[in-house]
Amino acid sequence: MAGEQRRKKRNKKMVFRINLMFFAVFILFSILIFRLGIVQIVYGENYKKEIEREVEVPVASTAPRGQIYDSKGRLVVGNKPQLAISYTRSQSTTQEDMIQTSELLAKMIKKDTEEDLKAITERDKQDFWIIKYPNEAAEKVSDKEKDKLLASDMSSKEVDDEIYKRTRERITEEELNAFKKDELEVLAIFREMASSRMLTPHFIKNKNVNEDEFALVSENLHLLPGIDTTVDWERYNALKDEDGEVTLSSVLGNVSSSKEGLPSEMLEYYQSKGYSRNDRVGKSYLELQYESVLQGQKKIMKNYTDKTGEVTKQDVVREGQAGKDLVLTTDIEFQQEVEKIIEKHVRSLRGSNYFLDRGFVSAMNPQTGEVLAMAGKQFVKDEKTGETEVMDYALGNMTSQYSMGSTIKGATVLAGYQEGVISPWSVLVDRPLYFDGTQPKRSWNTAGFGAINDLTALRKSSNVYMFLIAMRIGGQQEYIPRGKLRIDKDEGIRKLRYNFHQFGLGVKTGIDLPGEVTGQSPIPPNGGNTLDFAIGQFDTYSPLQLAQYVSTIANGGYRMQPQIVKEIREPNLENNQLGAVYQSIEPNVLNKITMKDAWIEHVQDGFIQVVNHPQGTANSGITNKKYKIAGKTGTAQAYYGGPLKVQSNPDTWNLTFVGYAPYDNPEIAISVVIPWLSSDKSKINLHIADEVFDAYFKMKTKQKDEENEEL
C-alpha cells in the first residue's frame, strides 16, 4: 500500500514536469512566432530593400592632355588618338575568371612584344604556375609540413602565407621555363588584369592595336567579362627635323606612360590631388611645371553594384574635359633657325677643337621677359655605334654653367659706380699690374691701353680697369707697383656679388621651369681671385642668366622674370584651333637695380661702342650694323669640364657674347656661349650672334609682309 502511494506521487511529479516543459516550449514558440511576425510585417520592407540594395562606386576615366603651341599658334606637342582595349575588374571576379578571360582574349589580340614579355617577372610566372597547376602546387608542401604549421602558434593567415611562400620557392626553373610563348602571352594579359584596381578601367593594350583586333574584340565583348574597346591617346612632338630630332625636346619634358603611372617619389602628393596610380603625368620640365593645367578633367562615372559586386547600371556624374593648352613665348620657326645656326658653326670648328661639343643661345624680349628662343646643341658619341649624333640641349641654357669672361664687365662698371669707387668718365691707367710674389695681371693687350675712361674700358674690354675697380671695392684704393695686393678679398667679392645678383648673375632667373642652376660661387682663396671675378673668370653662370643680365641693362635696369609660357587656353578639339584665353601670364619685374638711370645709360653707350666703334671688340664680327646692335664680347680661360675622359683638366677657352637690338628701343636680347675651344682666336661667338639677329629681324619683316598680304 505504501509502495503504491509512492508510485502515484512520482507519476504526478513527472506529469507536472512534462506539462511545465510543454508550457515553456509553447511560450518560446509563441515568442518566436511573434518576433517573426514583427520582422515580416514591421521590418520586412526594409530587409527586402537591403537585399536588393545597390552600392554606388564612383569611377574616373582619363581625359586627353592639354596641347602645346608656339607663339604663332603652331602645334608643338599634341595627342595622337589610338585604339585601345581596357579591362574593368568587378568585386566578384576571381583569379580563375581572369585566367579564363585572358586565355580567350589572347586568341584575339597580340600581346607578345619584347616590352610585354620583358615586363613579366619571375614572381608573375610563379603565381601563374600555381593557378594553372593547382594539384602540382599542392604537392610542393607535404601534409606533414602543413600539420606541423597548423600545430604551431601561427595564425591561420600566417600558416597560409607560409605554405604559399614555400610552394612558390619550390617551383623549379625547369617548370617556369616550360611555359610556351602562347602561355606567356596569356600571362602578360593576366598580369595586367591582376594589377587593375576594382571597378577602374585599366588598359590591357593601348599601343599598336590594329583594326582587326579592335573589331574582333568588339564583336565578342559578351564573351569577355570586364573587357571593353575604347580610344586612348599618345603624346607626340609635332616638330621634328630631318634627323628626327625634336625642337626644344629637352625643355618640353616627358609624360609617364600608363604602365609607369605616377612617379613613386610623388605618389602620395598626386593621390592627394585625386590622381589614380596609373594616371599619366608630366615627369620633367614644361610637362611637369604645368601639370595642373595640362592634366585633363576626368569623366566621373558612378557604377551601381549589387551585393555580389556586379555592376547593374552606370550614371555620368561629371563629363570629362581635355586639359588646357599652353601657348609658348617662342616662335618655333625662329627657334629652329637659331638651332641651325649653332649646329653649323659648332660643327665647322669641331675638327680643330677636340673638346668643343656644344653651344647655346638664349634670346629674350628685354621688355617682357618672354623667351624668344632657348637653343642648345650638343654633339654626343654613341658608345655602341661610334657615330656622333647632334642632340637637342636647349635645357643646358638653364642647367649648365660656365665662366663667361668679359661679357659681365658692364655689371662690374655699374658695381663700381654703386660702391662709389668710380663715376662715369673716371680715368684709370691700364698697364700690367705687378704684385709681390705673383704673376702679372694684365689686359689682352699685354702692353696695356694707358689712361682710359670707363667707356673705352668697355669698348676695348680692358681687364686692368676692372681689376682696379675690384681692388677699390675691396679696400685698396691705389695700386703700388711690386707691392702686395692688400684687398679684403671676402668683403670685396661679397659686395661685387651683391651687385651682380641684382642683374640675375649668380641667382636663379625665376624661369617657369624646374631645375635651373644658380652657378658656382666659391670662396676666393686669395685676393687675386676677387680680381678675376671682376672679369668673369671666377664664378660661373648659366647662358640664361647671361641673357637676363643683358636684358636688365637693355631695358634700363629692370630684371624681368624669363617666361616660356605666355598663355593658358581652354581646349578646343573641334577644329584644332586655339580656344579662349583662360589665363595670360603677365610680365613680372623681379627687381629694379639700385643704380641710377644715368649710370645704366652710360654703360649702354659703352655697349653700343663695343659693336659700332671701329675699335670695339665686336666691330669686325658683327656685320649687321643696320639692326642697331649693342653688346659685349667675352673670353674666359676655363678648365674643361665635359664628358671626355682626360688625364688632367686642360686649359680651354669659353667664347661668349651678350647683346640687344635695336639699341634705341630694344626688343631682343641674346647671350651666346660656346665653351671649351682650344684657342681664343675664333670669332664663333660673334658670327653666331650676327646671324641670330639677322634671322630675327628678317623673320619679323617676313611676318609683317604676310600679314599685309592677308589684309
What's the pLDDT tens digit per position in 611-636?
A: 999 999 999 999 999 999 999 999 99
Find the mean pLDDT for residues 387-395. Answer: 92
Q: Which DSSP category does 406 fall into?
A: G
H or E stretch at 302: strand 299-305
More confident residue, 154 or 344: 344
pLDDT tens readout for residues 179-197 = 888 888 989 898 888 888 7
pLDDT for the residue 710: 73
pLDDT single digits (tens) 284-295: 999 999 999 998
Nearest-CA neighbor of 91 among 59, 127, 62? 59
Active site residue 406: yes
What's the confidence (pLDDT) of residue 434? 95
The pLDDT tens digits for 579-590 are 899 999 999 999
Q: What is the pTM of this model?
A: 0.82
> What is the phi-psi region of residue 425: left when phi exceeds 0, alpha when psi lies from -120 to 50, beta otherwise?
left
Chain segment 434-466, per-residue pLDDT in tens: 998 889 999 999 899 999 999 999 999 999 999
Residue 52 binned pLDDT confidence (cut-offs 50, 70, 90): very low
Q: Going by C-beta distance under 8 Å and a sequence separation of 6 or more, which residues neighbour residue 706?
A: none
Q: At what angle do helices 409-418 and 489-503 cross, to 10 degrees?
A: 110
DSSP string, 455-523: HHHHHHT-HHHHHHHHHHHTT--S--TTS-----HHHHHHHHHHHHHHHTTTS----SSS-------PP
- Cα 633 from Cα 626, distance rounded (Å): 19
3-class secondary structure, 110: coil
- Per-residue confidence (pLDDT) for residue 304, from 0 to 100: 61
Q: Which of 640, 622, 643 is nearest to 631 (CA)?
A: 622
137: alpha, beta or left? (left if phi > 0; alpha if psi -120 to 50): alpha
406, 443, 461, 682: the active-site residue: 406
Per-residue model confidence (pLDDT) at position 38: 67
Q: What is the 3-state secondary structure (H, E, C) of 190-242?
A: HHHHHCCCECCCEEEECCCCCHHHHHHHHHCHHHCCCEEEEEEEEEEECCECC
Write out the three cell numbers for 444: 689682352
Closest residue by Cα to residue 360 from 688, 643, 635: 688
Please report the DSSP string for 650-672 in residue order: -EEEEEEEEEEE-TTS--EEEEE
- Which among 126, 218, 223 has a CA at the least distance from the CA of 171? 126
pLDDT for position 361: 98
Count of all residues that appear for the chain in the document: 711
Q: Report pLDDT for 302.
A: 63
Of all helices (H) and strands (E), which one includes residue 267?
helix 267-272
Residue 114 in grid coordinates: 619584347
pLDDT value, residue 9: 63
With CA atoms as reference, report the closest residue to 559 among 516, 497, 503, 604: 503
Q: What is the pLDDT of residues 593-603, one digit of tens each?
A: 999 999 999 99
Q: In whole numbers, what is the pLDDT of the chain averaged over residues?
A: 88
Strand order of the sheet with strand 371-381? 388-392, 371-381, 358-364, 668-677, 651-661, 630-639
Alpha helices in 56-178 (DSSP H): 95-106, 114-118, 122-132, 134-138, 143-150, 156-169, 173-176
Q: Are 469 and 475 in contact (CB under 8 A)?
A: no
Peptide bond connecting 514 to the previous residue in cis, omega within 30 degrees of 0: no
pLDDT tier for residue 167 given thresholds of 50, 70 and 90: very high
Report the distance separating Cα 296 and Cα 202, nearest Å: 17
Say what the alpha-carbon torsion angle 627, 543, 651, 633 is, to the nearest 10 degrees.
20
What is the amino acid identity at position 21? M
Give the residue, 170 or 3, on which the prediction is more confident.
170
The region, left, alpha or beta by phi > 0 then psi within -120 to 50, assigned to residue 285 is: left
Confidence label for 51 from pLDDT (cuts 50, 70 and 90) = very low
- Band of the pLDDT at 325, cuts 50, 70, 90? very high
Q: Which of 344, 338, 325 shows the shortest CA–CA distance to 364?
A: 338
91 pLDDT more than 90: no
**Does residue 2 have a pLDDT over 60?**
no
Query: In this predicted model, what pLDDT tens digit does every residue of 223-281 receive, in sequence order?
Result: 999 899 988 888 888 876 555 567 888 899 888 887 787 888 888 888 787 777 778 88
CA distances from 372 to 72, 183, 580, 692 (A): 12, 55, 23, 11
Other Cβ atoms less than 10 A from the Cβ of 659: the count is: 31
**pLDDT higher than threshold 70 for residue 394:** yes
CA atoms 171, 172, 173, 176: torsion sign: negative
What 3-state DSSP class applies to 567? Answer: strand
Report pLDDT for 48: 52
59 has a pLDDT exceeding 60: no
Contact (CB, 8 A) for 377 and 359: yes
232 and 84 in contact (C-beta within 8 Å)?
A: yes
